[in-house]
Amino acid sequence: MSTPLSQTAAYYGSPTLSAAERNRVLRNTYWLLALSMIPTVLGAWIGVSTGLARAMSPGIGLVVFLVGSFGLMFAIEKTKNSAAGVPVLLAFTFFMGLMLSRLIGAVLGLSNGANLIMLAFAGTGGVFFAMATLSSVIKRDLSGMGRWLFIGAIVLMVVGIANVFIQSSALMLALSVLAVGIFSAFILHDLKRVRDGEETNYITATLGVYLSLYNVFQSLLAIFGLTSGGSDD
């Protein structure tokens, strides 16, 4: 399970922006978020077509995921204020799509797999639309919830890593349900920070929202796959 490490990057001491600057950061965040879906889909398609992710054992896959994702997030942090920031972010989203292909391939093995993927995609879009709308109408400061969300995400990550070896479907289902709630709240929190001028870098903002959307989609897909009752043909 991926982790929202980027959400911790700018909790403290961010300068307040003018309304025009806030709108520019928010607009660039939405634009880059939309663009990031292209390499994600491409990575997932290549992963499913080649079976690359499924060829790795759970343990090896976990190591590759952690090293690759943490390494690329570190690179994003180092390049976020340069021209290399956007290409590095897009490389990260391609890698994340590639890693997602293992779950997508498993769901596609179900008789109704394609429908489940579309349902998870629609559900993720609905969550994003709802959280984006809420972020525009809520007036109260939500910065305090960030620490609690981060603690929840760390707990999910630790238990999720353990479940790679335990292989409990019931635990995976419970974690997925909790993840949908936590990362939906993270989307609201991160977008509100942009609207309030607390997040000043659109690459950092995009990374945070992208990770949350990724986790919501992954969790919804796991929930639908585990509860659908579909079987291989």
Measured CA to CA, the distance from residue 228 to residue 184 in angstroms comes to 22
Q: What is the pTM of this model?
A: 0.88
Q: If DSSP states are collapsed to H, E and C, what string results for the chain?
A: CCCCHHHHCCCCCCCCCCHHHHHHHHHHHHHHHHHHHHHHHHHHHHHHHHCHHHHCCHHHHHHHHHHHHHHHHHHHHHHCCCCCHHHHHHHHHHHHHHHHHHHHHHHHCCCCHHHHHHHHHHHHHHHHHHHHHHHHHCCCCCCCHHHHHHHHHHHHHHHHHHHHHHCCHHHHHHHHHHHHHHHHHHHHHHHHHHHCCCCCCHHHHHHHHHHHHHHHHHHHHHHHHHHCCCCCC
**pLDDT by position in tens, the chain (length 233):** 444 444 433 343 345 667 888 899 999 999 999 999 999 999 999 999 998 888 888 888 889 999 999 999 999 999 999 999 999 999 999 999 999 999 999 999 998 999 999 999 999 999 999 999 999 998 888 888 888 999 999 999 999 989 988 889 999 999 999 999 999 999 999 999 999 888 899 999 999 999 999 999 999 999 999 988 655 54
